[in-house]
A and B are shown apart, each in its own frame.
Chain A
Amino acid sequence: MELCQLTAHELKDKLVQKEITATDILDSCLQRVAQVETQVKAFVTLTEESARETARAVDEKGDYRGLAGITCALKDNLCTKGIRTTCSSRMLENFVPPYDATVVRKMKDEQAVILGKLNMDEFAMGSSTENSAFFPTSNPWDLERVPGGSSGGSAAAVAADEVIYALGSDTGGSIRQPAAFCGVVGMKPTYGRVSRYGLVAFASSLDQIGSLTKDVTDCALVLNLISGYDKMDSTSVNAEVPDYTRFLVPDIKGFKIGVPREYFQAGVDERVKEVIKQALLKMEDLGAMVEETSLPHTEYALPAYYIIAPAEASSNLARFDGVRYGLRDTEAENIIEMFASTRARGFGPEVKRRIMLGTYALSSGYYDAYYLKALKVRRLVKEDFDRAFARYDVLAVPTTPTVAFKIHEKSDNVLSMYMSDIATIPINLAGVPALSIPGGFVDGLPVGLQLIGKPFAEGTILRVAYTFEQNTDYVGRKPKLGVN
């Protein structure tokens, strides 16, 4: 096995034992990038030089605390000082932020080796990474298929072993859905657990930064690194952050797992259902109590989301007006024309669609019927979860209704694309944490098992996921990718 194929905790052990150096890991990853990147196309920007400097500095110090010296990469909507942050949009193609996002600062403080910025659906709007203004990313398990989205570059880079782990953002499933499609572990923490400062906002009340890792232990390590209150983010929660590795205990005897039936209805592939059913049987074998339950407002989550998220997006993306940074149409005759033509040229069709949807939903005369109503639905969705969590430790559902679909398969059918997030969106509306872990395979393609927890109970999710991982062999399987 090459170093790039190992997990962060395995590499960390080797670093501490002085068997390898951070530079060795970086070299291995770079070699891998050279081999597969033309097929996968996960990176928007490679930062080889600064990654080398960091690796060298870590090796000189020889202090391999936390995730120091481990090669990783960032979704390209996390602001990096001095390194362009594009959101995979023409609008920000040459935008270089003057500051670091809080999570980026934490990673730099930890001396994480950041190899670059990863492709995504433009401004995180999409479920296939086909909405990138630059190029689509391929699924390492089948290059004809999408990696999911919007954090498709993050999931693909980790699945292809180009980096050891990556950060993504999740507004309606944008970490978990690509994690499921690419067969990696994706965690969306509780809203407020991780500072959003420096994450280019899509929908502020739903966005949350999280991790894409090769296994559950790495997930705990990354969560340790990025979690915590930040005075720069008023919505981050000032609650103590436990050491998440303490929850990595392979025992779920007596755990109560609820299985809401609404997540297994029409539209969910029978073979996916079967995989999840087998996974749940495994949980029972391991001593958990698995029980069917109901989250009755689930069917209203998707429509409510497609009011709330575009409404917030229409306001969040208004700042891209050509005045201070990013694209500007310099030919425009006057300011109004400059606003209009800059935005017409800078945004792709999906972004424009959502800006229009959101603008409409917030307009005078429609606000009560759409936005306010959607907020009420959101409350009902949240109350469903509250009731369920009074009885269960975690809920288990499929992450996605199908395995990864083909490139172009859904790009002309917006609604069918939106439906691929049907099992992840309610979790963002409720603000609760959830993780997707490989739960089995269909036709050689990974299927994601989604574990949902109570607010700030990421630890419980990790314990269940870890137990499942230790007793199955789905986590750690590698796509072929025509190399080795």
Chain B
Amino acid sequence: MPNTEYEAVIGLEVHAELKTESKIFCSCSTEFGAEPNTQICPICTGMPGVLPVLNRKVLEYAIKTGLALNCEIAEFSKYDRKNYFYPDLPKAYQISQYDLPICRNGYLEIEVDGQQKRVGITRVHMEEDAGKLVHQGTITATPYSLVDLNRSGVPLLEIVSEPDMRTPQEARLYMEKLRAILLFLGVSDCKMQEGSLRCDANVSVRPRGETRFGTKTEIKNMNSFRALERALEFEIDRQIELLEDGEKIVQETRTWDESKQATFSMRSKEEAHDYRYFPDPDLVPVVVDRDWVEAVRETLPELPDAARKRLVQNYGLPEYDATVLTLTKDTLDFFDRCMEEYHDAKVVSNWIMGELNRLLNQQNLEITECKVTPFGLVSMLRLIDEGTISGKMAKSVFEEMFATGKQPEVIIKEKGMVQISDESALEPIIARIVADNPKVVEDYRNGKDKAFGFFVGQVMKATRGQANPKMVNDILKRILSGA
């Protein structure tokens, strides 16, 4: 049971890798998963004498994101150096933005228990990613570590929220919405597992009604939405317990340990780095011309909120369906393409949210990777409508489509799965089953509803599920009523 005398205050810092073709300050590829140190050059390995040159696409994506998050786009912004030593940071400073970020003062909206809630966006800024260390075994016991600089210089957006969230669920909804927006914009892949979307949380608790903030901790290393929610739940409980015991919360950075399902202290405030930020003299300040901002605004696609409203208004879908269908751009595209060919939005929605999502999750696939096309799904729905197959048969047809990518007509033909909708074929079968079970007929006539179901089941069994269910119902009723 959550302790209701306290409330949590949560703010999130999200890093999203941008999907540009080349890195932020050099022309190396940003492709994920290449052999270590194959996508590097003198610039992203921090050779002596090299200089950064901004990839304009990064600026465009940052502006796009800022506009989608209702931010002000700064006319003047600049790049700063964040100085610290680490073997994966080739220049020993990260080029970032400190006091003059490209975007400020925005918000996004989440829906909490049917209510719209606005979460403030403090700022969005551009920066470069660091490389990656590969340890031999654990970080503390490794005899040596290898450095892979493929990721060094991949562009990132850091998106910082206001401390506006009060529950782990709100934090999760915020992340889902932010991810949906970035996916709709097409600026990031947002794959938490691959690290293209990362999230740190600042969390504190305070007695309900208190307006001042409590002492916060920063939580790192949460690699999924679920980890985020769990880590916050754990941390909030931990902090409340400390306060209940009359102890003080220490301002510190803590790491989420997925296997232990707990947060552990990494470093205290005293150990915090002094990054010695100062303006990077190798880069000129960014002056964004208003016309360009307007031109970028023109290119903004439909965003999740607008799409959700459209689904509710145009198709009469429930809010819940509309939210699920707009979690990613690809899901929405799948739905929209189905609707170009099919009339019943709720049926399409049920299939996407139901069978399709179930199979995708089971096999850990993205909707774009699956073999079922919108055309395939619509063809299958038509076969149901035409009575060629039953809804029940459709489930196994769909599984086959998902597995093989074959069209439903082909599968039905191959497996001989055509629905029996011929009265003259069904009637003798049903009549025989009724005749064979006089006891059940008596139960039925005595008002036992179960008895009817028994007969339907027997008919389906006898026809290997291929009997037209509606027709079975009609014939059964007629026979049982003694007509």
Contact = CB atoms under 8 A, between A and B. Distances in A.
Q: Summarize A's interface: helix, strand, loop or mixed.
A: loop
Contact of B42 (A98, A321, A339): A98
Contacts of B48: 79, 85, 87, 92, 95, 97, 200-201, 319-320, 325
Contacts of A85: 48-49
Given A85-B48, A98-B47, A364 B276 contact: yes
A315 B94 CA distance: 10
A25 interface: no
Interface in B63-89: 81, 83, 85, 87
Interface in B40-64: 42, 45-54
Contacts of B87: 321, 323, 335
A363 B47 CA distance: 25
A252 B69 CA distance: 61
B90 A315 contact: no
Max count, chain A CB within 10 A of own CB: residue among B49, B81, B93, B277: B49
A205 B46 CA distance: 18
A234 B51 contact: yes
Interface string A293-314: 0000000000000000001101
B359 interface: no
A187 to B, nearest CB: 21
A314 B277 CA distance: 12
A95 B45 CA distance: 14
A198 B49 contact: yes
A320 B90 CA distance: 9
Interface residues of A, number: 44
Contacts of B151: none
Contacts of B49: 77-79, 85, 97, 101, 197-201
Contacts of B42: 97-99
23 contacts: A97-B48, A196-B51, A198-B50, A200-B48, A200-B49, A204-B282, A232-B53, A233-B53, A234-B52, A234-B282, A234-B283, A235-B282, A315-B83, A315-B92, A315-B276, A319-B90, A320-B48, A321-B85, A362-B83, A363-B276, A364-B276, A367-B276, A371-B278
A157 B408 CA distance: 84
A420 interface: no
B386 interface: no
A61 interface: no
A375 B85 CA distance: 26
A231 interface: yes
Interface in B272-291: 274, 276-278, 281-284
Contacts of A320: 48
A324 B284 contact: no
A318 interface: yes
Given A198-B50, A314-B83, 11 more contacts: A85-B48, A87-B48, A97-B48, A99-B42, A197-B51, A201-B49, A204-B281, A315-B83, A319-B91, A323-B147, A359-B276
A77 B48 CA distance: 9
A204 B278 CA distance: 12
Nearest to B83: A315
Interface of A: 77-79, 85, 87, 92, 95, 97-99, 101, 196-201, 203-205, 231-235, 311-312, 314-315, 318-321, 323-325, 335, 339, 359, 362-364, 367, 371
B369 to A, nearest CB: 37
Nearest to B144: A335
Contacts of B276: 314-315, 359, 362-364, 367
Contacts of B281: 203-205, 235, 312
Contact of A324 (B53, B85, B90): B90
Nearest to B133: A335
A205 B81 CA distance: 14
A314 to B, nearest CB: 8
A367 B90 CA distance: 24
A325 B51 CA distance: 17
Q: Nearest 10 pairs between A and B by C-beta?
A: A318-B92, A205-B281, A362-B276, A204-B281, A200-B48, A198-B49, A79-B49, A200-B49, A364-B274, A319-B46
Contacts of A323: 87, 90, 147
Contacts of B47: 79, 97-99, 324-325
Interface residues of B, number: 29
Contacts of B278: 311-312, 315, 362, 367, 371
A232 B52 CA distance: 7
A207 B274 CA distance: 26
B53 A231 contact: yes
Interface string B28-42: 000000000000001
Contacts of A318: 83, 85, 91-93
B179 to A, nearest CB: 33
A92 B274 CA distance: 28
Interface string B313-351: 000000000000000000000000000000000000000
Contacts of A101: 49
Contact of B284 (A92, A203, A235, A312): A235
A455 B85 CA distance: 37
Contacts of B81: 315
Contact of A363 (B46, B145, B274): B274
Contacts of B50: 99, 197-198
A311 B80 CA distance: 13
Contacts of B83: 314-315, 318, 362
Max count, chain A CB within 10 A of own CB: residue among B46, B91, B274, B282: B282
Nearest to B273: A364
Given A363-B274, A367-B278, A232 B91 contact: no
A237 to B, nearest CB: 10
Nearest to A95: B48
A347 B239 CA distance: 47
A480 B51 CA distance: 42
B23 to A, nearest CB: 14
Contacts of B283: 234-235
Contacts of A371: 278
B271 to A, nearest CB: 13
A371 B98 CA distance: 16
A92 B47 CA distance: 11
B283 to A, nearest CB: 5
Nearest to A312: B281
